[in-house]
Amino acid sequence: MALPRFLAAAVVCVVIAGAPALANDIQTINQQFRKGDLAGALENANRYLAKNPKDAQARFLKGLILADQGKTNDAIGIFTALTDDYPELPEPYNNLAVLYASQGKYEAAKDSLEKAIRTHPSYATAHENLGDIYAKMASIAYDKALSLDSRNTAAQTKLALIKDIMGAQPQKAAAKTVAAVKPAAAAPKAPPAAVEVRKQAPATPAAGTVSIETAVNSWAQAWSRRDVDAYLAAYASDFSAAGMSRTTWEAQRRARIMAPKRIEVQISDLKVEQQADTASATFRQVYRSDRLNSTVTKTLKLTLQNGQWRIVEETSR
């Protein structure tokens, strides 16, 4: 099975703080890459990295360029180094998995995707890719079973089912772009989020209930203060943590929040949809720390528990 058929490479969306001139350099490299000028893009990437060796986005771009040139092992080296330097970013793990899968190293691909998901439990691309890897590994196992016993009708049926499922998947192309870079501005204090509320049904919350928008802003402010206890308290007891136990997930979040020296989380364009005691809040999230900056669109699904809105699910794109 050809790699583009069953795995999609990630498009990195992290933004590392820098001067506008540096952002323009990244955009130039990205444009060359998108136009297919791989040699020119690689030359400019190497020139840029000679002066900015730690720039995560330029390194990510170089990895994509090398992969497009068929220099798989060199690309693997780039993404592996990124996971060492920025273990909190899921995209390099995902792209490592894509490259390992292209070499038939499905166990290594699986391990990389599991790391991506542990880093970012709501990373949908990694979950989908992991499902594809499991399916491919199952196909190999059923093929082996049939080579040992060609009359194994159960294995025949299962293998046929997997091939039908994977054969029905739409064609996926490896990523050719990196999100446009915008220079990070000086981090001002977060203003009150602009709120647009679309209620699908009238709600009758208990007296004293904190509003959804207040709950979301309080969650972001606790994260910004690195107040881990308040941050964790914003999540429901049944929060979906991608298969991790609550204890494991909390320990992971505590370590990642306390690692940077400073954190600032800003939210804007907040849109809330509420129905009785459940709600969905979607907003633009800007995260800044002394380690990295990122901008994503995030959706929190909340439920009313003991008069408080708690997060039960969290996804980003």
CB 101 within 8 A of CB 79: no
CB 45 within 8 A of CB 53: no
pLDDT digits (tens, 9 = 90+) for 242-278: 777 788 888 888 888 988 889 999 999 999 998 888 9
pLDDT digits (tens, 9 = 90+) for 113-122: 999 899 888 8
Residues 227 and 300 in one domain: yes
- Residue 172 included in any domain: no
- Residue 278 included in any domain: yes
- Residue 41 included in any domain: yes
- Residue 77 included in any domain: yes
Q: What is the pLDDT of residue 271?
A: 92
Q: What is the pLDDT of residue 146?
A: 74
Q: Which ranges constitute the DSSP H helices of 120-245?
A: 124-148, 153-167, 212-225, 228-233
Residues 163 and 210 in one domain: no
Residues 41 and 150 in one domain: yes
Average pLDDT, the chain: 76
Kindly report the CATH number assigned to the domain that includes residue 66.
Answer: 1.25.40.10
Q: What is the pLDDT of residue 162?
A: 54
Q: What is the pLDDT of residue 223?
A: 93
Residues 151 and 246 in one domain: no
Is residue 1 over pLDDT 80?
no
- Residue 178 included in any domain: no
Mean pLDDT of 136-160: 75
Is residue 125 over pLDDT 60?
yes
Residues 153 and 203 in one domain: no
Bridge partners of 305, per DSSP, are 308
Q: What is the pLDDT of residue 185?
A: 29
Is residue 283 over pLDDT 90?
yes
Is residue 7 over pLDDT 60?
no
Q: What is the pLDDT of residue 166?
A: 54
Neighbours of 59 (CB within 10 A): 23
Neighbours of 183 (CB within 10 A): 16
Is residue 208 over pLDDT 70?
no
Sequence-distant (6+) residues with CB within 8 A of 284 are: 267, 268, 269, 295, 296, 297, 298
C-alpha radius of gyration, the chain, whole number: 22
Residues 220 and 276 in one domain: yes
Show the domain range for 216.
195-316
Is residue 207 over pLDDT 60?
no
Q: What domain count does the chain have?
A: 2
Q: What is the pLDDT of residue 225?
A: 92
Bridge partners of 313, per DSSP, are 301
- Residue 181 included in any domain: no
Residues 209 and 151 in one domain: no
pTM confidence score: 0.50
DSSP SS3 for 232: helix
Kindly report the CATH number assigned to the domain that includes residue 280.
Answer: 3.10.450.50
